[in-house]
Amino acid sequence: MLIAMRRMLGLAAGAALLACAGATWAQVFPSRPITLVVPYAAGGGTDILARVVGKAMGDVLGRQVVIDNKPGGSTMIGANFVAKSAPDGYTLLMGASTFVIQESLPVKEQNATLKDFEPIGVVASTPMLLAVHPGVPSGSLKQFIDHARANPGKLNYATFGKGSTTHLVTEFMNAELGLRMTDVPYKGAAPAITDLIRGEIQVFCDLTVTALPLAKDGRAKVIAIMSERRSEQAPEIPTFAELGFPNVKAGVVFGVLAPAGTPRAIVEQLNAALATVLKTAEVSERIRGMASTAGGGSPAQFAEVLTQERDKWKKLIDRIGLKLE
């Protein structure tokens, strides 16, 4: 009887120690640097947002947030890497809502899907726009359409790969405007912008954060923006809607995600840190200066946004009959 009691007491003590250890582990997160994976090349809009928010979150959490660029595969190289990482909060993805596009694409590879992640929170949202090389006749959207229709297949446009946002949005625009252009794949916005400036490509449907600076110094022309209303940062640029094409609307929601199975306490801690930095004047002004709107909200709200985006892109893919051959 005495031996049995001693065993029971020993088990109870062990369980208590394990519980304390678990509680302590949760309380000390993070105890080392956090890696924030960006699935694009350095220099693009997603990379810029990640560096702004990552540094600020590192200050709040007391540990450095290291940016790791893993471009390629229409963002899936980086997304797959994070999805397969340990669910401990130390490897995160700076994702765009468009990574859920992959679920609706006829691809053979087994890529990560929404169920492979724990949404942390929305960082920002930003519209897309149509930018062209200065040498393309495009004093107006009508002039651009006339030129493109007169030269079917001769205008090259940048994509981040088949099925990427840039690819789908441009193909959707082509369908709406009655155009036919040739896609050229890149690993990110920075190399695409370089070739746009050189004239190697003539068209680029991209985020306002990367395209507006090109227009301001004359390296590219921005014809129209794909938002509900004109941008505060560039009110002179008309929307497609006011030019007669109300269906041409597109934008991207950026957010932080963790691998599925990440403990709820860590998800909430990361969400709280993100919410804190988004409320600071420095970060909110940086985001606003990128012609974007600061995010926020709970992990559940971000999950709902991603679900809606997945359904929207599936309808678009079905409509344009996307083929990846």
One pLDDT digit (tens) per residue for the chain, 325 residues: 444 444 444 444 444 444 444 444 445 899 999 999 999 888 877 898 999 999 999 999 999 999 999 998 778 899 999 999 999 999 999 988 877 877 777 665 678 889 999 999 999 998 999 999 999 998 899 999 999 999 999 999 999 887 788 888 999 899 999 999 999 998 878 899 999 999 999 999 988 877 888 888 889 999 999 998 898 888 999 999 999 999 998 888 999 999 999 999 999 999 999 999 999 999 999 998 888 889 999 999 999 999 988 888 888 788 777 766 5
SS3 67: strand
Sign of CA dihedral 225, 321, 101, 122: positive
What is the Cα Rg of the chain in Å? 23
* pLDDT at res. 14: 46
Token code pair at residue 217: 């110094």
> What CATH architecture is 32-126+252-320?
3-Layer(aba) Sandwich (3.40)
- Which residue bears the tokens 């595969």? 73
CATH for 127-243, among 3.20.190.10, 3.40.50.300, 2.40.440.10, 3.40.190.10? Answer: 3.40.190.10
Structure-block tokens of residue 143: 């002039």
pLDDT of residue 289: 84
- Which residues neighbour 19 within 8 Å (Cβ) at sequence distance 6 or greater? none
- For residue 267, the model assigns a pLDDT of 98
Residue 270 and residue 258 in contact, taking contact as beta carbons nearer than 8 Å: yes
CA-nearest of 206, 45, 51, 227 to 132 is 206
Evaluate the CA torsion angle 53, 56, 61, 63 in order and state its sign. positive
Q: Are 209 and 126 in contact (CB under 8 A)?
A: yes
pLDDT value at residue 56:
97
- What integer pLDDT is reported at residue 324 of this predicted model? 61
Whole-structure pTM value? 0.76
User: Two tokens at 318?
Assistant: 């079905």
Tokens 């919410």 sit on residue: 275
List the chain domain ranges: 32-126+252-320, 127-243
Largest CA distance in the chain: 95
32-126+252-320 and 127-243 agree in CATH topology: yes
CA 286, CA 293: separation in Å to the nearest integer? 10
Return left, alpha or beta for 137; rule: phi > 0 is left, psi -120 to 50 is alpha, else beta.
beta
For residue 108, what pLDDT is reported? 58
Taking a C-beta distance cutoff of 8 angstroms, is the pair 164, 40 a contact? no
What's the pLDDT score for residue 38? 96
Nearest to 39 by CA among 28, 49, 25, 29: 49
pLDDT at 177: 95
How high is the pLDDT of residue 323? 67
Q: Is the dihedral of CA 298, 299, 304, 306 positive or negative?
A: positive
pLDDT at residue 72, as a whole number: 83
Q: Token pair of 42, please?
A: 């350095």
Closest CA to 166 of 96, 217, 215, 228: 96
